Structure 1
Amino acid sequence: MFLRKPLLLAACLLVLGSPVWASPAHTFDFGQPAPAAKATRSVEVVMGDMSFTPKAIEITAGETVRFVLVNKGQLLHEFNLGDAAMHARHQQEMLKMQHSGMLTPTGMKDMDHGAAGMDHGMMKHDDPNSVLVEPGKTAELIWTFTKTTQLEFACNIPGHYQAGMVGKLTVGP
Structure 2
Amino acid sequence: MKHLFIAAAFALVSLSALADGGKSFAFGEPAPAAKATRTVEVVLKDIAFEPKRLHAKAGETVRFVLINEGKLPHEFNLGDKAMHAEHQKQMIAMQGKLFTAGMHHEGMDHGQMGHADHGHDAGNTVLVQPGQRAELTWTFRQSAPIEFACNVPGHYQAGMVGPLTIE
TM-score tier (shorter)? 0.7 to 0.9
* Aligned 8 A contact 2:24 2:30 in 1: no
Residues 51 and 164 of structure 1 are in contact (CA less than 8 Å); yes or no, is this contact kept in structure 2?
yes
1:118-153, CA deviations, whole angstroms, 9 ceiling, x for partnerless residues?
Answer: 766325733300000000000000000000122100
Partner of 2:162: 167
1:65-144 equivalences under 5 Å are: 65-101=62-98, 111-112=108-109, 121-122=116-117, 125-144=120-139
* Greater radius of gyration (CA): 1
1:27 equivalenced with 2:39 (yes/no): no
Q: Contact between 2:23 and 2:29, CA under 8 Å: does it hold in 1?
A: no
| Amino acid in the other structure paired with 1:81 | L
TM-score after normalising by structure 2 = 0.77
Structure 1: 5+ residue stretches without partners? 1-24, 103-107
How many residues align? The count is 141
> Partner of 1:161: helix, strand, or coil?
coil
CA 1:35–1:159: 2 relative to 1, 3 Å: same
In structure 1, the residue matched to 2:145 is 150
Write out the 4+ residue segments of structure 1 that deviate beyond 4 Å after TM superposition. none
Residues 90, 147 of structure 1: alpha-carbon distance in 2 compared, 3 angstrom cutoff: same
How much does 1:84 deviate? 0.2
Higher helix share: 2
* Match in the other structure for 1:56: 53
Distance 1:78 1:161 in 2: 10
CA separation in 1, counterparts of 2:106 and 2:56?
A: 34
Distance in 1, matches of 2:149 and 2:136, equals: 13
Q: RMSD between aligned alpha carbons?
A: 2.4
- The structure-2 alpha-carbon separation of the partners of 1:93 and 1:114, relative to structure 1 and needing over 3 Å to count, comes to same
